[in-house]
Copies of this chain bind each other. A is one copy, B any other.
Amino acid sequence: MDVLAVLNLGDLAQAFSKMGMFPVFDVAYYIVSILYLKYEPGSVEVSRKSPVASWLCAMLYCFGSYILADIMLGGSPVDYFQHNSHILLASAIWYLIFYCPLNLFYKCVAFLPVKLVLVALKEVVRTRKIAAGVHHAHHAYHHGYFIMVIVGYVKGSGVALISNFEQLLRGVWRPETNEILNMSFPTKASLYGAILFTMQEAHWLPVSRSMLIIVFTLFMATSKVWMTARHSHSSPFALIESWICHVLFRSPLGGSEEAHHHPPAASAPSSLKSKEELSEGARKRKAKKAE
């Protein structure tokens, strides 16, 4: 108890959960998001051919979570665009990543040590968004637990949930997969996070909101940094998930893992991998080729 008193974990969590996100954390969020857009095959060509489409995609990557949450709660989808400074900042980063001479900015932020820091900062923003989304939905629907989970989920997942339509904007159409059918780690974690924050909001979880924020942030940042550093896309939930799905939903045990290791020849393996799970090495090579 003495150690805890010295650390004063509660106060630390409180301070952490009140810390402003603008501009440092938001900038990291925008950089990593638009970096993922540049990794998408064909996105560099689109940025040359149609800057408006490229800018719109970048905005969806940066503000997709706000757009979706506003739609879910019946508001204006472009409501967040009233924050001119955020939009200008994200636009500047989009410009630097796609059009900077000698590709300098891209090379800096895609440099692994720098990127690991940015990825960690992005997860701080993601956790905050989930918590804010659940809280906002709780305000609108006091006992709408499903609505809280849904809004928290879309706040955490953002553009990934509408990736089919974001791709359509760039002239790409891959209907055989989507983020609900093949959830990537961040989407899954957002769902679990939204459930946890909803339980906290409903007082079914004996922890304070700020404590949950700091714990979930640490988990997300560690996982994503580890996955980015290792170029891995194996989820930390894989084992327990596969077991629960087998018992509850009669899913084949470990089937999805095997399917990943031995993809069927008929289907294009690349199209089965979701955006954020593509190994970093492969992505960089693709992005470089596209230059």
Contact surface of A with B, Cβ cutoff 8 Å: 46-53, 56, 70-79, 81-82, 84, 87, 98-99, 140-141, 143-147, 150-151, 164, 168-173, 175-178, 180-183, 191, 245, 248-252, 256
Contacts and interface: CB of A to CB of B under 8 A. Distances in A.
Which 8 pairs show the lowest CB-CB distances between chains A and B?
A173-B175, A74-B76, A82-B144, A81-B146, A53-B180, A51-B249, A82-B141, A74-B75
Contact of A169 (B151, B170, B180): B180
A77 B84 contact: no
A236 B76 CA distance: 34
29 contacts: A47-B249, A48-B249, A48-B250, A48-B251, A49-B181, A49-B251, A50-B181, A50-B182, A50-B183, A51-B245, A53-B181, A72-B76, A73-B76, A74-B75, A74-B77, A78-B147, A82-B144, A84-B143, A84-B146, A87-B146, A99-B248, A99-B249, A168-B175, A168-B178, A169-B181, A171-B177, A171-B178, A173-B175, A173-B176
